[in-house]
Amino acid sequence: MGSKVTGVKIKGIGKYVPEMVATNEDFTKIVETSDEWITQRTGIKQRHITNGEPTYYLGAMAAKAAMADAGVKAEDIDLIIATTVTGDYFTPSLSCLIQREIGAIGCIAFDLNAACAGFVYGFDTAKRYLQTGDGIKTVLLVASEELSKFVDYTDRSSCVLFGDGAAAFVLETAEDTTYSSFLGADGNGAKYLASRALKSENAFRTNSEEFDMDMPETKDYFFKQDGKEVYKFATKALPNAVEQACAKIEISPDDLDWIVPHQANIRIIETAAKHLGVSMDKFPVYIDRYGNTSSASIPIAFCDAVAEGRIKRGDKVCLVGFGGGLTYGAAVFEY
């Protein structure tokens, strides 16, 4: 059942979330909402929020935990891939700052931005680097996000959704194993999830024309989403990505032991599970603890499921994400 290929081995995992917690009740003090309203619509009860710790700090702490779990040292790391939409700087990259913090100076380091599907994109990218045979034997994949940076805390419909956190995997090549992936994007839906960076302004500009990019007007750099459109996209993209990844290796979604989804909304996960015909028991869900942490949500959920003894070595697992871009992707492997 399923052909064996050269895949990827997770040698170690680690996570880190800020100590400060904001409960649903805390949000009732700053916007007109209620614990019941948030819980029923999203499944979220609380989220961890940074108290000043930068994104790279969260990522470095998760990286150190993963390296300790894997038993590898800084000099063993050949490549660092960091996934984020909330880096502390345009430059240097998050990956370079994490490299500095863990002392892995000299290895390849770059960032990958595929929004909430970023960790799946990064996981597949790491696998392909490991297969090159170009001296890359150990990859550190880190997802670190501080969505509190671009949340508009006056917008009650969106500010309750997001949290901060990081998680990391140490990856190596695995021979004669199960691996498959399916990645994609729909740029036509870019306008449904947006946070503006810098506009095209400079000292020599004479053209006052604003180019129509079919993007929403946002308040400064604050995040804006069309919840209905994102829901429609996600409930189709999630099961499709899982089905496509499974089809490549001739297995069905029900053959999977676990499907670890992006933790955006419990209703999205439940709808996707129904479309797949797979029991919710196979979906580790921790959105009640963390809220939506973008690219960090999948590895954080994976870490918790392993820590609780749910996901075990030898299990057939699918990581599946969807997010701004619009992006989507799934990766199937043996843990």
Catalytic positions, written as ranges: 116, 262, 292
Residue in the structure block whose two tokens are 């009732």 = 28
- Give the angle 94-163-37 at the CA atoms, nearest 5°: 160
Q: How many Å apart are CA 246 and CA 248, to the nearest integer?
A: 5
Q: How many Å apart are CA 330 and CA 242, to the nearest integer?
A: 6
User: How many CB atoms lie under 10 A from the CB of residue 201?
Assistant: 6
**Residues sharing a CB contact under 8 Å with residue 87, sequence separation 6 or more, in sequence order:** 55, 56, 93, 94, 111
Cis preceding-peptide flag for 94 (omega within 30 of 0): no
Q: How many Å apart are CA 324 and CA 158, to the nearest integer?
A: 15
Closest CA to 151 of 219, 84, 52, 234: 219
Closest CA to 41 of 287, 295, 298: 287
Q: How many Å apart are CA 162 and CA 48, to the nearest integer?
A: 9
Q: How many Å apart are CA 173 and CA 164, to the nearest integer?
A: 30
Strand ranges across the sheet with 139-146:
5-16, 164-177, 139-146, 79-83, 108-112
Q: How many Å apart are CA 277 and CA 260, to the nearest integer?
A: 15
